[in-house]
Amino acid sequence: MSTAFEIVREDPPARSITYVRADPLNYPEIAAALCADPGRWHRVGLADTSHRAAAIAHRITAGQVQTLAIRGSFEATARTVGRECRIYARYLGQVEQVAS
């Protein structure tokens, strides 16, 4: 199975629920792209279910992803568009370092 990865400058659309396959996220590349364009939303990945997309978005926002582990610096959300469960994120700026 081939996986495609791309980071696209895009605001998240209105909520809805559907399911699709999972694609791995490249967190270092995501962090670099978001920090280069602070405050702007980007579609950073796809998940196999809306629940998984929401869980990944929560981990990003809560600072639970090591590469993005500055709590409050990144915001993420999940939206379903058609049959794609999309993950959106943006860099807000440095707020609080998470203890290791």
Over the stretch 40-74, which tens digit does the pLDDT of each residue have? Answer: 999 999 998 999 999 999 989 988 887 777 656 89
- Let me know if residue 7 belongs to a domain: no
- Let me know if residue 31 belongs to a domain: yes
User: Is pLDDT of 98 > 60?
Assistant: no
The Cα–Cα gap between 3 and 15 comes to: 25
End-to-end alpha carbon distance in the chain:
35
DSSP H stretches of helix in 1-100: 27-36, 50-61
Q: Which of 7-16, 21-30, 61-70 has the lowest mean pLDDT?
A: 21-30
Domain extent for 25: 17-95
CA-to-CA dists, residue 3 to 36, 45, 47, 58, 93, angstroms: 24, 11, 12, 23, 30
- Let me know if residue 9 belongs to a domain: no
Q: How confident is the model at residue 13 (pLDDT cuts 50, 70, 90)?
A: confident
- Domain tally, the chain: 1
Pick from 100, 23, 95, 49: nearest CA to 8:
23
- Let me know if residue 84 belongs to a domain: yes
- Let me know if residue 60 belongs to a domain: yes
- Let me know if residue 3 belongs to a domain: no
- Let me know if residue 51 belongs to a domain: yes
- Let me know if residue 22 belongs to a domain: yes
